[in-house]
Amino acid sequence: MSIRTRFAPSPTGHLHIGGARTALFNWLYARKHGGRFILRIEDTDLERSTRESVNAILESLAWLGLDYDEGPYFQSERFPRYREVIRRLLDEGKAYYCYCTKEELEAMRQEQLARKEKPRYDGRCRHRTEPRPGVEPVVRFRNPTEGEVVVEDLVRGRVVFANRELDDLILARADGTPTYNLTVVVDDLDMQITHVIRGDDHLNNTPRQINILRALGAQPPRYAHVPMILGEDGARLSKRHGAVSVLEYRDQGYLPEALLNYLVRLGWAHGNQEIFSIDEMIHLFDLQEINKSASTFNPSKLLWLNHHYLMHSNPLHVAHHLRWHLGRLGVDPEEGPDLVDLVLALRERTKTLAEMAKSSLVFYRDLTEFDPEAAAKYLTEEALPVLQALLERFRQLDAWEQEKLHQAVVATSEALGQKLGKVAQPLRVALTGSSVSPPIDVTLYLLGREKTLARIARAIDRILANSKPAL
């Protein structure tokens, strides 16, 4: 059997953590078994579905690297097929027209609640043969009233539903538009989906969908219902817990590999291993190893993972993503140091690409201001001879190489009889406007000869201007 999984988001907003994890689990299972991963856009809610949301979903999947083998298929383009199935079910007596008004349904519900019964449609139109004047009917599925539906869930195990507890759900609304439970069944059937991996909030839909599939003479797929993700306070995950859309994580400077690694560990584990390459995820992923209990979202853990990936990923790969973040800040990456050198210099002290890009600005933009505290402490008359000596020594260098720059700073320190810190700190402030930067030889190398000489000269002029006696 060829494995076929699907990810079927509704385009009514951006792709969030829960949906991204569902996509990842489906993608991993298909890749592990040499199967096919299908993307289906469930856009039958024509009022709330937007093209912007579709684009955001596609962009999110592309950034995460979750490539799909088929699709995207759009449910809004499949209405003729859904009508065909509804007509078949009606003709075979497996569905029927329901003429109950909203008022009648609400009265039925209130009566059931008063009797402490579970509210459900009571099937009163099951045997109606004549239309009801002035009422546009819905189409309901004629659910079996006896027996049970057994779901051999690949995560939760055996789950049994009594058919008498399942009401006759609506397949088509009064305006003819199909409902979710109908469209998903037809799509899974037509697309030959073998495994449905989705959130456990869909578990109650599963017996209904299985009954519709059986009414169509089809074999249901295997189901795996993944527990939800909670915030650290135990409540359902939301923005207030720090969970945002996939594209917002990209904008905040997370690497896609870090987010994928974090998502795969939200509910799945392989021993005590924390760090997984994509290939390891594919090789090791197993539906039976998904936890049955809910997972807890921890933003600090995600940040830790991101820093790990910044530190240990190929610098060329990190540089590729850094380039995009620099562009967002209005910087042309070609008008500054080599990006790989920049990554190597900044990755230890930054936890996100956005932070790294911001720290990089000093190497691209003109230095327009100094940190007041750092300037007051280090750009003093005492520092004047130090900066003048450094300026002269740097002018005489025949090659702008990191080792030669280091030796120039050491030689200046020795020549002036000053400790290295007394030389390096004024120089650092002169070059960056701050008392914090990468190692001084790295900072010099990344800035380049022209920027270095100009910034030291500017710092010297500042000291001289501030030291002039008032008239």
Q: Which pLDDT tens digit goes with each residue over 127-161?
A: 988 999 999 999 999 999 999 999 999 999 999 99
In sequence order, the β-bridge partners of residue 195 are: 222
From the list 32, 116, 239, 419, the catalytic residue is: 239
Structure tokens at 111: 């009566």
Helix (H) / strand (E) element for 443: namely helix 440-467
Is residue 409 a contact partner of residue 423, using CB atoms and an 8 Å limit?
Answer: yes
Report angle CA 302, 304, 310 to the nearest 5 degrees: 105
Is the per-residue pLDDT at 359 higher than 90? yes
Q: Taking residues 18-28, what's their average pLDDT?
A: 97
CB atoms within 10 A of CB 464: 11
* pLDDT score of 468: 67
Domain boundaries, the chain: 79-226, 239-312, 314-365, 366-471
pLDDT (0 to 100) of residue 233: 85
Q: Is 263 exposed, middle or buried (0-12, 13-18, 19+ CB in 10 A)?
A: buried
Query: Degrees (nearest 5) of the Cα angle 41, 43, 45?
Result: 160
pLDDT surpasses 90 at 470: no
Q: Dig out the tokens for 45 from the structure.
A: 């809610």
Query: Is the distance from CB of 329 to CB of 357 less than 8 angstroms?
Result: yes
Catalytic annotation on 451? no
CA dihedral 274, 263, 313, 271 (to 10 degrees): 20
Bond prior to 72 in cis (omega within 30° of 0): yes
Q: Do domains 79-226 and 239-312 have the same CATH topology?
A: no
Does residue 151 sit in helix, strand or coil? strand
Which architecture does CATH list for 366-471? Answer: Orthogonal Bundle (1.10)
Q: What's the pLDDT at 466? A: 86
CATH classification of 79-226 is 3.40.50.620, yes or no? yes
pLDDT score for 390 = 97
Q: What angle do CA 305, 311, 316 make, to 5 degrees?
A: 115
Q: Which residues pair with 7 in a beta bridge?
A: 39
Q: Are 205 and 181 in contact (CB under 8 A)?
A: yes
pTM over 0.85: yes
Contact indicator for 12, 53 with CB cutoff of 8 Å = yes
Q: What is the pLDDT of residues 33-70, one digit of tens each?
A: 999 999 999 998 888 899 999 999 999 999 999 999 99
Taking the C-alpha atoms of residue 143 and residue 147, their distance in angstroms, rounded to an integer, is: 11
User: Average pLDDT, stretch 375-385?
Assistant: 95
Average pLDDT, the chain: 95
Give the residue from 160, 163, 180 showing the smallest Cα distance to 172. Answer: 180
Q: Name the pLDDT band for 469 (thresholds 50, 70, 90).
A: low
Token pair 């320190």: residue: 413
Topology, domain 239-312: Glutamyl-tRNA Synthetase; domain 2 (1.10.1160)
User: What's residue 129's pLDDT?
Assistant: 85
The pLDDT score that the predictor gives to residue 48 is 87
